[in-house]
Structure 1
Amino acid sequence: MADGLLELEPLPSSPGRRMELVITAVRTAIDQGRMKPGVKYSVYQLAEVLGISRTPVREALLRLEEVGLIKFEARQGFRILLPQPREIAEIFAVRLALELPAARKAAANATPALVNALHEQHTLMRQAAAAGDETLFAQHDLRLHDLILQAGNNSRSRAIVKSLREATRLLGASTADTTRTLADIDAEHLPVIVAITAGDVEGAEVAMRAHLVNTGRHLVSQAIPEGDSDLDADEIWTSIVG
């Protein structure tokens, strides 16, 4: 199969690490639809359009392969991947195990600084939802969850969830469809913030569980190819998450 066309801007001159710039460029291209899942691209092609050597490109792609966003193929080729339904359910099983305790701890230690940060982030989410900006919304969503994980005082949990969210990032915006808008997703976060602000430990866990389960089930359903009658979203979810 011929390599897919790449229309990316050359990387700007920067004192930062070229590998990190390549990672950002690839993620941005995916978010904007300029690099598509399943299409074969090449290391040489990407290095050429970005205007840099192949070494930092390979390093960046290795990092992206680690989190499951790309898969290398023969002759320096690679493809953007979408997580499979079962993988998504597994990811949310782990997220539930890590983010529910974090929500409880955040509620038990709801400092004024944390409460203000959560409300500020939620305001930004609401503004992005009103503007229909899915990319910006996803960024603020990620930051809000990270604030809660940070309050949970477990840096390893934060790192794990960040990696897991990268693995489902390609599907993040697609959870907003005709049945679940950005405003709907935004509204799911409000009970979490209200419970944490009130110091309601049980309520924070219940609200976080409801949000993660709803999001996970949507992603599992949407990851099943249309017309594939051999896969059932409810069965996949129940078998893994319960």
Structure 2
Amino acid sequence: MRQIDTERNLAKTIFEELRSGIVSGELVPGTLYSVHDLAARLGVSRTPVREALIQLSERGMVRFERNRGARVLQTSLHDLEEVFALRLLLEVPATFRATGRRESGWVADLSAHLAAMRAAADEHDEAAFMAADRRFHHTINAASGNLRLADHVDSLRDTILLRNTSTVNRSRGMHDILAEHARIHELVEEGQAHAAAEAMREHLRHTARLLLGQESSETGDAEPPFSLDWTAFPG
């Protein structure tokens, strides 16, 4: 048996607490927070707080300002476009590769995440639904054999959460989103790599169009000035 690294566990807990505070809006976008004040609020020393903030800055969630602290960033429409452009470039070929590899076990995990999405949709539980959605995508990306890709895509999703926006019950319902994931799952299970990758591409493009259009109209822009013609996979 090995000793538990309490400092490492503490740093992880602090990171998750700060990340949750940013996503929920408790830590307000545009606001500057000192390491000292955050440490006092959490009842911990400043060192693990600073380490957590460094990780959050790498995810684009905060920006350090010299001798002042860290400012929580606000996601712009252009940021959203860039996030979906990257997701298209990464997740489409990852789906193709994962489906083609047919490693044991992960498809069963994917089925479990889809079932969790379906149960959450039936219960109208958006938080549980989006958590299962996130696990669904991460499972496919990790099954591609590139864990760095999977973790990077997971961090990109935090950028979307920074804007505190969602298409759920605004542009579409949870069962609509579920249907798109069910189609991806079906093609993955059948081993149809090209079709599964194409289904992932259409899912991401559809989500991006709805989200960008929705947010653009709320900011007063008549048309979202973005291009979603990213073709990462030849199809």
Specify the SS of the correspondent of 2:33.
strand
How far did 1:211 drift?
A: 0.9
Q: Deviations over 1:175-224 (max 9, x none)?
A: 21322122222222111000011111222012101111112223333444
Q: Is the 8 A contact 1:85 1:221 kept in 2?
A: no
- Match in the other structure for 2:226: 236
Unaligned runs of at least 5 residues, structure 2: none
Match of 1:56 among 35, 48, 52: 48
Give me the whole-angstrom Cα distance separating, in 2, the residues matched to 1:207 and 1:92.
Answer: 15
Q: CA deviation at 1:111?
A: 4.8
Could you say which residue in structure 1 is the equivalent of 2:136?
A: 144
Question: Structure 1 residues 155-164 or 97-106, which shifts more?
Answer: 155-164
1:4-38 Cα deviation digits (max 9, x unpaired):
xxxxxxxxxx9252322211111222344423323
Q: Which residue of structure 1 lines up, in the alignment, with residue 6 of structure 2?
A: 15
Residue pairs, 1:115-130, within 5 angstroms: 115-130=107-122
What TM-score results when the alignment is normalised by the length of structure 1?
A: 0.81
User: What CA distance in whole angstroms lies between the structure 2 residues aligned with 1:79 and 1:174?
Assistant: 23
Residue 160 (structure 1) aligned with residue 162 (structure 2): no
For residues 53-107 of structure 1, the C-alpha deviation after alignment (integer angstroms, 9 at most, x for no partner) is 1221122111101111112346534332232222222222221122111211232
Q: Which runs of 5+ in 1 are unaligned?
A: 1-13
Q: CA RMSD in A?
A: 2.6
The superposition leaves residues 103-159 of structure 1 with CA deviations (integer Å, 9 ceiling, x where unpaired) of 112322335522211111111122223333333322221211111112212233223
Q: Secondary structure of 2:199's match?
A: helix
Runs of 4+ displaced beyond 4 Å: none
> Is 1:132 matched with 2:124?
yes
Give the % identical residues.
Answer: 36
Counterpart code for 2:223: D
2:33/2:71 contact within 8 Å kept = yes
Measure, in 1, the Cα distance between the counterparts of 2:130 and 2:168: 11
Moved more, 214-223 or 181-190: 214-223
Matched length:
226
Amino acid at match of 2:226: I
